[in-house]
Amino acid sequence: MRVALGVSYSGSAYSGWQSQLSGNTIQDKLEAALGRFATHAVSTLCAGRTDAGVHGLMQVVHFDTHLQRPPASWVRGTNTFLPADIAVQWAQEVPDSFHARGSAVARRYAYVLLQSPVRPSVDAGRVGWVYRPLNLAAMREAAGFLLGEHDFTSFRASACQAKTPVKTLQRIDISQRGLSAPHPELGWSPCYWRFEFEANAFLHHMIRNIMGCLITVGQGDQPPEWMQQVLQARSRKVAAPTFSPDGLYFQGPVYRPEWGLPERTAAYDWLP
């Protein structure tokens, strides 16, 4: 039978999702745990590969097995063999026609950013960081140029293996959270920012490259219209540097309701 899992993880200690010879990836740890529980080798396919340092709130994978186990057994049994920073959130038997990647109609990411004169501490590795204050209206205007179907070559890593740079970016939401009292020396308030992205698919480093450009606009180094110029140039050379992976979270894929899969988990809701 085919089983789908929802998996959450902190990516700080790992070399990304995809299996590597080092064995230090989320996929390697998950397949090793599944193999120990199932007592046979298990090969998984995921909804979206994440880079080193990127976190997952509801990564979805599927695998095939001859074992018949209740969903709760797949969750608790596999988690027994996983490190503390990776956990299966749910398990569900699915038809053989289900494919974790191919059946997804969209994917969602969030980026959490600390705006503060002081670097992160308790949230180090879990948030990005900027020292200078950001302009919400300017970033929202810049983000508007990216919505819809475009060639996103300017935001694509050189190692990207996608067949086409044309993607449809359906949503970018930007909000400011947790505003503190103004800093006595700087005159502006430390806070957190949350950026949410939804698209049919994403290119390698696409969100981190967009984040670099949004921050460039937000800090006043470029006007909002510059984002349109970067997009139309179709050249990575004109865009801002790739931003840190620390605050990036794969919120998970979007599936059609008929698959009957969970849309969110407790891990999904902890972000500020």
Transcribe 244-268 into DSSP letters. Answer: PSTTEEEEEEE--GGG---S--GGG
pLDDT of res. 268: 72
Rounded CA separation 127/123 (Å): 6
127 and 83 together in one domain: no
Tell me the average pLDDT across 193-218.
97
Instruction: Name the domain boundary from 103, 137, 154.
Output: 103
Residues noted as catalytic: 51
pLDDT of res. 37: 96
137 and 7 together in one domain: no
- pTM as predicted: 0.93
Is it the case that residue 267 has pLDDT exceeding 90? no
Question: Domain total for the chain?
Answer: 2
- Is 260 inside any structural domain? no
Give the domain extent around 192: 106-249
- Is 234 inside any structural domain? yes
Is it the case that residue 182 has pLDDT exceeding 70? no
pLDDT of res. 178: 75
120 and 97 together in one domain: no
- Is 87 inside any structural domain? yes
Residue 143 structure tokens? 């983000």
Q: Where are the alpha helices (DSSP H) in 100-240?
A: 136-144, 206-218, 225-233
52 and 119 together in one domain: no
pLDDT band at 49 (very low <50, low <70, confident <90, very high): very high
- Is 262 inside any structural domain? no
